[in-house]
């Protein structure tokens, strides 16, 4: 087997692939919901501050670790310090757990996309449509398999011919669709109530300070931190893996800044797309978290728009499908790359192996809504089925643990100079050097510990 490591052909390819990973379902259904819940503009301000500090610290750390070691996440941490090789195992376990259920949700998006494209979008807005679909025994599995095989096909083709080439096509289209739908959303008006999209935009961007308490700020901060943590694809092996494909002569600082900007911009535009439209026809109470927003509330909004809603709905779910696909690609690549580096097997064999596992686990999770249905209470207080349990373990426990371990490794053991030297290897400036050192050693570990304790129901 040829063990020569793949790499992105250019900085543009790396940025688009990394941005494609960051811009996923979390930006589209979770960001708008949290913004509406946590005081609109207040959440936005906190999110942007955290993106420039907390997010930057975690993102540049992982990309630098990948580029320095030229290894996937599974083996990269051990190259920095053998005693911290456990982080590689945990960080690879995260995408291993995420991929099956992410492809299931991707299958749900595919189902709705097909419905709107074929002219049956308004049927998808009917009561119980979503519930009937996900509780069926065969349909969700079929759509899950189609989405998973599409992801596997891209990964099978490799870094340049697969991930980079598809990202260069999908990301510009995705961005244009986001902008177009966002513009349309702020121009609509409810003929019965007179409420406009601009009224909804004000709810999104103007801070709601009436009766604001310290607890409200704390909740908004932890929500923004959790959203950012998930949004920029850190602590799940992805950015370390993508960093390992990033050429030494490229400017690491600049590319990380571009990823930050792109991700934050799309998250903001997702709010502009969704919050004004939902506010116009359903009020603030129409903003619900998770699948309820994407698959129940939004289709009903498209019905309220009349005939044009069919076309807007089709464009919306095409955009969401592209976002889900580019994110799922990065999740699978993190696992496949780990198999290649650790077990010295071919990309084709690693892809087939991971696809088979993801399909088998995905079938079990799909059946969790019918044959294997049960409900348990999680430590954070939410009710959960199989999909929710897997999501909770991977996102709320393993990811903070991986990030805390990374902060200890780089902040105190290998020292911040490990990342700073990698980021300035070609003589580039590191403008936020002092900020980075303080964040990686002190602030980020504390924030991550708070996030973990909150997830465990302790805070």
Q: Provide the percentage of residues in the chain whose pLDDT is more than 90.
A: 83
For residues 28 and 294, the answer to whether their CB atoms sit within 8 Å is yes
Residue 197 near residue 276, CB atoms below 8 Å:
yes
Q: How far apart are CA 459 and CA 451, in angstroms?
A: 9
Determine which of 27-41, 44-58, 182-196, 444-458 has the lowest per-residue pLDDT on average: 27-41
Mean pLDDT of the chain: 94
The pLDDT assigned to 1 comes to 44
pLDDT of residue 4: 60
* Distance, CA of 409 to CA of 403 (rounded, Å): 10
CB 263 within 8 A of CB 26: no
Domains along the sequence of the chain with CATH = 11-455 (1.10.4160)
Grade residue 279 by pLDDT with cuts at 50, 70 and 90. very high
The pLDDT value recorded for residue 286 is: 81
**pLDDT above 90 (res 211):** no
Say what the pTM is: 0.95
pLDDT attached to residue 414: 98
The pLDDT, as a whole number, for residue 333 is 98
Q: What pLDDT is recorded for position 171? A: 95
pLDDT at 311: 96
End-to-end Cα spacing for the chain: 50
Residue 195 has pLDDT above 50, yes or no: yes
Q: What is the pLDDT of residues 323-381, one digit of tens each?
A: 999 999 999 999 999 999 999 999 999 999 999 999 999 999 999 999 999 999 999 88
Asked if residue 3 has pLDDT above 90, the reply is no
Closest CA to 163 of 334, 3, 25, 320: 334
Per cent of the chain over pLDDT 70 is 99
- pLDDT average, residue stretch 164-182: 96
């Amino acid at each position: 087997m040829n063990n020569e490591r793949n790499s992105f052909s250019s900085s543009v390819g790396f940025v688009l692939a990394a941005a494609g990973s960051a811009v996923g379902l979390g930006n589209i259904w979770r960001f708008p919901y949290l913004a509406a819940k946590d005081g609109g503009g207040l959440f936005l301000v906190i999110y942007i501050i955290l993106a420039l500090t907390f997010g930057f610290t975690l993102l540049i750390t992982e990309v630098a670790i990948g580029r320095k070691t030229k290894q996937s996440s599974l083996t990269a941490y051990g190259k920095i310090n053998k005693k911290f090789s456990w982080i590689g195992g945990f960080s690879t376990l995260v995408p291993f757990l995420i991929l099956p259920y992410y492809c299931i949700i991707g299958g749900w998006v595919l189902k709705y996309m097909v419905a709107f494209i074929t002219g049956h979008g308004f049927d998808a807005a009917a009561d119980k449509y979503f519930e009937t679909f996900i509780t069926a025994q065969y349909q969700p599995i079929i759509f899950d398999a189609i989405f998973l095989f599409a992801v596997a096909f891209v990964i099978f083709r490799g870094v340049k011919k697969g991930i980079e080439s598809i990202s260069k096509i999908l990301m510009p289209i995705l961005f244009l669709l986001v902008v177009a739908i966002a513009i349309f959303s702020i121009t609509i008006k409810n003929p019965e109530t007179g409420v406009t999209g601009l009224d909804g935009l004000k709810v999104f961007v103007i801070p709601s300070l009436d009766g604001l308490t310290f607890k409200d700020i704390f909740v908004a901060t932890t929500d923004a931190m959790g959203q950012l943590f998930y949004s920029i694809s850190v602590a799940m092996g992805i950015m370390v893996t993508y960093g390992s494909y990033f050429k030494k002569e490229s400017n690491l600082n600049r590319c990380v800044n571009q990823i930050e900007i792109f991700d934050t911009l799309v998250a903001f535009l997702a709010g502009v797309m969704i919050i004004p439209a939902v506010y116009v026809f359903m009020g603030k109470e129409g903003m619900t978290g998770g699948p309820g927003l994407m698959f129940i509330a939004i289709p009903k909004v498209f019905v309220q728009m009349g005939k044009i809603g069919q076309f807007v709905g089709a464009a919306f779910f095409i955009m969401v499908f592209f976002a889900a696909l580019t994110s799922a690609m990065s999740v699978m690549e993190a696992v496949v790359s780990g198999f290649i580096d650790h077990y010295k097997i071919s990309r084709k064999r690693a892809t087939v192996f991971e696809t088979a596992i993801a399909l088998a686990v995905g079938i079990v999770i799909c059946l969790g809504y019918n044959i294997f249905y049960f409900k348990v209470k999680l430590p954070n207080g939410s009710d959960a089925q199989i999909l929710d349990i897997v999501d909770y373990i991977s996102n709320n426990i393993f990811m903070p643990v991986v990030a805390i371990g990374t902060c200890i490794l780089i902040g105190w053991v290998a020292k911040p100079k490990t990342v700073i030297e990698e980021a300035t290897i070609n003589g580039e400036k590191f403008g936020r050097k002092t900020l980075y050192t303080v964040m990686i050693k002190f602030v980020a570990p504390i924030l991550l510990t708070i996030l973990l304790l909150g997830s465990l129901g302790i805070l």
